[in-house]
Structure 1
Amino acid sequence: MLFNSLHFLVFFPVVVGLYYGLPPRWRGALLLLASYYFYMSWRAVYALLLLATTVLDYYSGYRMSQLPTRRARRPWLYLSLVSNLGTLFVFKYFNFFRDAAVQLGSALQLPVGAGPVLGLLLPVGVSFYTFQSVGYIIDVYQGRLAAERNFGRFALFVAFFPQLVAGPIERGGHMLPQFRREHSFDYVRIVSGLRLMAWGLFKKVVVADRLALLVNPVFNNPRQHPEGPLLVLATLAFTFQIYGDFSGYTDMARGAARVLGFDFNLNFRQPYQSASVPEFWRRWHISLSSWFRDYVYIPLGGSRVAPARAYGNLLAVFLISGLWHGANWTFLVWGGLHGLYLVLSTWARPLRERLAQLTGLAAHPGLRRGLGVLVTFGLVAYAWIFFRANNMGDALFISRHLFSGWHNLHGRQLTTLLLDFSQHYRPELAVAALGVGLMLLVEYAASRRSPQAWLAAQPFATRWVGYAGLALLILYLGIFNSTSFIYFQF
C-alpha cells in the first residue's frame, strides 16, 4: 500500500476514526492489526518474516533482561544478529556475493562452482525494520534500554505502519514510551500532521514524479543521450527527485504518526544547504547515518583511534552503507565515494583553514559558506550518478560524457538541444521546475522560522487559503499513477 494511492486514502481515515473512537486499551491492538494489514497488502506471506523477526527479538531481549552481565547476554545478542542479518543476507545479498565469487574465481582461474541462484522477491522494508529491531537488541544488550515485556507493544514498535517500509529508523528508547501513553484527540496536532502529510505528498507527486519523466529516459538508456548537457540536466534532476521522493515519504510518515499522537525523529534537515559532506550527512537520512554512527562507527573505534584507522573506519561504514542500499556495485561505489569525501574532508581541514586565511575567505564567512555549499552540492550530485545508474557500465559512461559536447554548443544550440529532448515533456518539466523552486523556498523559510509559529500568527482565513492552494497544486499538477517510492527497493 502506497501513501500516494487511493487504497491509503481510504485506509488511513478509517484507522484514525477507529483509533480515536475506541477505548484506549484497544488502540494498540488496532494499530498492530492495521500495520500488518498495511504490510500484507504488498505480499501477505512476508508478514510471516516480519512476525518471525518480532518473536525472535522480543524473546532475545526478554532473556537478556534476566541476565546480569554482558558476557551472559552475549549468546542472545549473537542469536539475534545472526538471525536478522542472515535473513537480510539471504533475501538481499546472496545472489550478489555468489556472482562476485564466480567472477573472482574466473579472473583468478580458480575452480569456483556457480552455486544456486535464489529467485526470492525482496520483502519491502526489510532493511528498515531489521535495522530498527537490531538497534533495540544492541541497546538492551548494552544496558541502555530496558527490555519491553509487553509482546504486543514490541510488535507494534517493529511494525508500526507509518515508518515500517522506509523509515525513519526509530530507537526503542524513543518510541516504546510513546506506545505506553494514551493519546487524546488534539485538533492542533492533527491539523499539523495532515499539513505535513500534504506537503510530503506535494514533494512526491508534483516534484519527484515529474522529474522522473526526465531522469528515467536518460539513465535507462544513457547511450542514446550521450550529450553532456542532457546528462548534467538528468543528474541534477535526479538530485532533486530523490530528495523530493524520500523526504516526501518521511514527511508523510511523520505526519501520519503525528495525527495518531506519535512523534518520529527528524530525518532530513535541508541537506542541500550543507557546506561540507560531513554536514550533508548530519542533514540527510539522519536516522540511518546516526544508526551507523552508534552501532558500527563508534564500536569500531570511531575517531578515538589513530588517524589511519579512523579513516579506515569511515570508509568501512560508508561501504557498508552503500551495500545496505542495494546489492549492486553501483551502490558500493556510491558509498565509497562518500567515504572518500569524508576522509579527504577530515584530512584536509587544516589546509582549508590555511587557504581561507591566505585568500581572505576567513573574513567573509557568508561567501565561504556559499562556496562550500556549491562544492558540496556538486560532489553529492556526482555521487548520485552511481546511485541511480542501472549498472556500472552506465554509470561510467555517464561520468565520462558529462563534459562532452559543451565546447561545440552555443546558447541557441544548447537551447535547441534541450527543447528537442524535452518536446514531449515541456509542461511536465515546467511544473517540476516550479515545484523544485517552491520546495526549496518553503523549506529554506522553514529553516529560518518554525512553520508552526508562523502559521499560528496568520489569520484563520489565510491559513486555510494556503491549505486549499496546496491541495489544488497537488490535484492539478500531481502524477497519480501509484508510483512507488525509490527507497522501497531497499
Structure 2
Amino acid sequence: MLFNSIDFAIFLPIVFVLYWFVVNKNLKHQNILIALASYVFYGWWDWRFLALILFSTLVDYGIGVSLGKEHNLNRRKILLWISILVNLGFLGFFKYYNFFIDNFKSAFTFFGSAINANSLNIILPVGISFYTFQTLSYTIDVYKKRLEPTKDFISFAAFVSFFPQLVAGPIERATNLLPQMLSKRQFEYNDAVDGLRQILWGLFKKIVIADNCATYANLIFNNSADYSGSTLVLGAVFFTFQIYGDFSGYSDIAIGTSRLFGFKLMQNFAFPYFSRDIAEFWRRWHISLSTWFRDYLYIPLGGSRGGTWMKVRNTFIIFIVSGFWHGANWTFVIWGALNAIYFLPLLLTKRNRQNMEVVAGDSYFPSKKEIGQMSLTFSLTVIAWIFFRADNIEHALNYLREIFSSSLFSIPLYQGVNFLKVLFPLLLIFITIEWLGRKREFAIEKVKIKFRPFRYLFYYSLLILIYWFASENVDQQFIYFQF
C-alpha cells in the first residue's frame, strides 16, 4: 500500500478512529490493532511475504527471550549468530542470490571455463532491508545488554511491523520504539497537528517535487546518448532532487503518521543538500541507516581509534557495505566507494566534525565561504548520484564522459520537458522553504506567517499542488521500495 494512494487515504482514518475511539483504553488491544493493521498494510502489496516477516519476528522474539535467560557467553554468541544468519540469510537470498550467481558465472567465463548455474525469478519483498536491520538491532542490543528482552509478543510484533516505517524506514532502534510500544499512549492534539503538517510536507516533496523531477530525470537518463553534456548535468540534478524529495518525503509521511498514533520516530533527514562537506552530508542523509552502520559495524570494527590504515579500511568498509545494502548492482558499490573517497581527506585531517551546527545558524543568508562549500559538496554529491541512478557502470562512465566534454558548454536542448514554466519555479519555492525551515525537524514545522488567513492560504496552496500533480502521476512508487 502506497502512502500516495487512495487506498492509504481510506486505510489511515479507519485505523486512527479504531485506535483512539474503540481500543484506546487498553494498551494490549491498541498493539494488536497496530500489528493487524501493519500486516494488512504489508499484505496489500503481496500477502505471500507476510509469512516471511512473521517468521523473522518469531525467530528474533524467541532468541531475545532465550538471551534474557542465558548467561553462558558461548551459548549467547551462538544465539546471536543464529539471529544474524537467519536474517541476513533471507536478505541475501532474496536480494543478492542472482547477483552472486551472475558474477560467479562471469568470473569463470573470464578465466576460460563455463559453469551451469541458473538464476532464479525472485521477487524482492518490499522493505526487507529495513525490517531486517530493525530486528537485528533488537537482538544485538539484547545481546550487548543495552536492552531488556520483551516477553510481550504482540508488542514485539507491532514493533517489527509498524506500518508507517515498515517498508522504507526510518530504521528504528528497539531502544527507542519498543519501549513506546510497551507504554500507554495518550492522544496529544499538538503532536497530531504536527504530524499532519509533516505528512503534508512529505506528500509535497514526493508528489510535487520528486515525481516531476522523475519525469525529466528518467527521460534524460534513459536516452543519455542523445543529449549534450549540459543537458546531462540537468538530468543528474533532476535525479538529485528526485531521490531527496522521494525518500525524505516518505520519511516525513512515516514520522508524521506515527505522531498521529502517539509515537516519536527518529529524524531521518536534516536538510542534507545544505551541507558544507561530505561528512556533514552523511550526518544529515538517511540518518537511521548511517547511524546503524556506525553503531553496529564501524565501531565494532575499531572505528577511527586505530592507525591510519584502520581508519581507511573501516571507512571503505562502511561506505561500500552501505552502497551494497542499496542493491545488487556494482553501481551501488562504486557509489559507496566514491563517497568513501570524498570522506577520507576529512577524516585523515580530522576535519570530519568541523560542521556540526546548522549552516548560517545566526543569519538568513550564508556567507560566501558557506556558499562555496555547499556548492562543492552538492556538486560532488550529484556526481556520485549518477552511479546510483545509472543502469550499469558503463552507462555511468559514458554519462560522465559526455558531461566532461566540450558539449558541457552548449545550451541544453531537449523536447518534452516544460522545465522553465513548471519545474524550475517549483524547485525554487521548495529550496526556499527548506532553507527557511532548516533549523527545524522538517521545513514547515513552524511556519512564520503570523496573519492566520495567509498561513492557511499557504497550507491550502500545498494541498492544491499535491492534488493537481497527483492526478497526473497516479500512485507513483517510492524509489526506496526497491531496496
What band does the TM-score fall into relative to the shorter chain?
over 0.9
Tell me, in whole angstroms, the C-alpha distance in 1 between the residues paired with 2:132 and 2:379. 33
Tell me, in whole angstroms, the C-alpha distance in 2 between the residues paired with 1:63 and 1:151. 13
Identity %: 42
Q: 1:130 to 1:445 in 2, by over 3 A?
A: same
Matched with 1:360 is: none
Matched with 2:461 is: 469
1:426-437 alignment runs, 5 A limit: 426=418, 430-437=421-428
Tell me, in whole angstroms, the C-alpha distance in 2 between the residues paired with 1:429 and 1:175. 44
Decide which of 116, 119, 138 is 1:117's aligned counterpart: 119
Tell me, in whole angstroms, the C-alpha distance in 2 between the residues paired with 1:249 and 1:27. 24
1:283-302 alignment runs, 5 A limit: 283-302=284-303
Q: 1:395 to 1:341 in 2, by over 3 A?
A: same
Matched with 1:9 is: 9
Matched with 1:45 is: 48
TM-score (norm 1): 0.91
| Residue type at the aligned position of 1:238 | F
| Residue type at the aligned position of 2:468 | Y
Matched with 2:167 is: 165
Residue by residue, what CA displacement relative to the aligned partner does 1:37-94 show, whole Å, maximum 9, x if unpaired? Answer: 0000111000100000000000011100111254331111010000000111110101
Kept after mapping to 1: 8 A contact 2:229/2:409: no
Report deviation, 1:345. 2.6
Tell me, in whole angstroms, the C-alpha distance in 2 between the residues paired with 1:53 and 1:208. 33
Matched with 1:184 is: 186
Matched with 2:75 is: 72
1:485 aligns with 2:478: yes
TM-score (norm 2): 0.92
| Residue type at the aligned position of 2:273 | Y
Structure 1, 469-478 or 390-399: larger mean CA deviation = 469-478
Matched with 1:319 is: 320
- State the superposition RMSD in angstroms: 2.0
Matched with 1:441 is: 432
Tell me, in whole angstroms, the C-alpha distance in 2 between the residues paired with 1:87 and 1:429. 47
Tell me, in whole angstroms, the C-alpha distance in 2 between the residues paired with 1:202 and 1:88. 32
Structure 1, 56-65 or 95-104: larger mean CA deviation = 95-104
Matched with 1:135 is: 137
Kept after mapping to 2: 8 A contact 1:98/1:114: no
Report deviation, 1:449. 5.8
Structure 1, 178-187 or 32-41: larger mean CA deviation = 178-187
Structure with greater proportional helix content: 1
Decide which of 87, 93, 96 is 2:96's aligned counterpart: 93
Tell me, in whole angstroms, the C-alpha distance in 1 between the residues paired with 2:421 and 2:394. 31
Matched with 1:344 is: 345
Matched with 1:371 is: 372
Residue by residue, what CA displacement relative to the aligned partner does 1:234-265 show, whole Å, maximum 9, x if unpaired? Answer: 00111111100000000000110011111110
Q: 1:231 to 1:11 in 2, by over 3 A?
A: same
Kept after mapping to 1: 8 A contact 2:42/2:163: yes
Q: SS in structure 1 opposite 2:435? A: helix
Tell me, in whole angstroms, the C-alpha distance in 1 between the residues paired with 2:22 and 2:73. 42
Tell me, in whole angstroms, the C-alpha distance in 2 between the residues paired with 1:408 and 1:386. 22
Tell me, in whole angstroms, the C-alpha distance in 1 between the residues paired with 2:199 and 2:438. 18
Tell me, in whole angstroms, the C-alpha distance in 2 between the residues paired with 1:480 and 1:5. 11
Q: 1:271 to 1:166 in 2, by over 3 A?
A: same
Q: SS in structure 2 opposite 1:308? A: helix
Report deviation, 1:439. 2.0
Q: SS in structure 1 opposite 2:466? A: helix
| Residue type at the aligned position of 1:151 | F
Tell me, in whole angstroms, the C-alpha distance in 2 between the residues paired with 1:471 and 1:101. 50
Matched with 1:237 is: 238
Kept after mapping to 1: 8 A contact 2:229/2:408: no
